[in-house]
Chain A
Amino acid sequence: DGGITQSPKYLFRKEGQNVTLSCEQNLNHDAMYWYRQDPGQGLRLIYYSQIVNDFQKGDIAEGYSVSREKKESFPLTVTSAQKNPTAFYLCASSRPRAGDTEAFFGQGTRLTVV
């Protein structure tokens, strides 16, 4: 079945450590996105990528990094520079042609930094 896979579902890390969240899609979508969800704040865009080897900062990119070496994969690294990393992270993909831009979401990774 086609879809987006995020792993792991739950992740615990010590403060000061970098951590990488995985996102893989087999939908053949060009665009991929990372969002952060905090209670009462909806989804905020961290990074997005239209094509391989290219990505753009979203509204809250500070303290995060991404790579897009393959069309199917868009891993997100939460660095030690991110001051409040505990949150629910959602990855999405879409096929960005005119009139066909709805996003498909993964099940999310809940990151807790202790």
Chain B
Amino acid sequence: AQKVTQAQTEISVVEKEDVTLDCVYETRDTTYYLFWYKQPPSGELVFLIRRNSFDEQNEISGRYSWNFQKSTSSFNFTITASQVVDSAVYFCALSAYHTGGFKTIFGAGTRLFVKA
């Protein structure tokens, strides 16, 4: 069975602080994909990053960085020098192929408040 756990329900920071959002996953598949999505108040989810299970390289994109560690089944997301526009709900997701197609499940999400 697949499971994604985002233990942090809400995080509140002051602008310019760094913040890390945690994601822990469970799967028996050897080939799988991990994702982070951002959901602004408008409701539409926006894709941020994808990682496959064979690629443990960390990635940096501007103020965003991701740390993938298979040994601890974690895929954490760090925002450096946070800004008010980063306020949103962030979802971690896990996808693997099952009968009939790719099945993607999501964590419960972490709501991030960035105060000016």
Contacts and interface: CB of A to CB of B under 8 A. Distances in A.
> A and B, one complex?
yes
26 contacts: A33-B104, A40-B9, A42-B91, A44-B106, A45-B103, A45-B104, A45-B105, A48-B103, A50-B100, A58-B103, A88-B43, A90-B43, A90-B45, A92-B45, A94-B102, A96-B101, A96-B102, A101-B33, A101-B50, A101-B102, A102-B47, A105-B37, A106-B44, A107-B42, A107-B43, A108-B44
A49 interface: yes
Interface of A: 31, 33, 35, 40-45, 48-51, 54-56, 58-59, 88, 90, 92, 94, 96, 99, 101-108
Contacts of A99: 33, 50, 52
Which of B9, B98, B101, B102 counts the most chain A CB atoms within 10 A?
B101
B71 interface: no
Contacts of A48: 100-104
Contact of B99 (A35, A56, A88, A104): A56
B61 to A, nearest CB: 14
Main secondary structure of the interface of B (DSSP, over half): strand
A59 B91 CA distance: 18
Nearest to B97: A96
Given A40-B108, A42-B109, A107-B42, A50 B52 contact: no
A31 B102 contact: yes
Interface in B1-27: 6, 9
B95 interface: yes
Nearest to A54: B100
B100 A104 contact: no
Contacts of A108: 43-44
Contact of B44 (A42, A55, A59, A107): A107
Interface in B86-116: 91, 93, 95, 97-109
Contacts of A42: 6, 91, 106-109
A105 B44 contact: yes
B108 A41 contact: yes
B101 A50 contact: yes
A88 B104 CA distance: 18
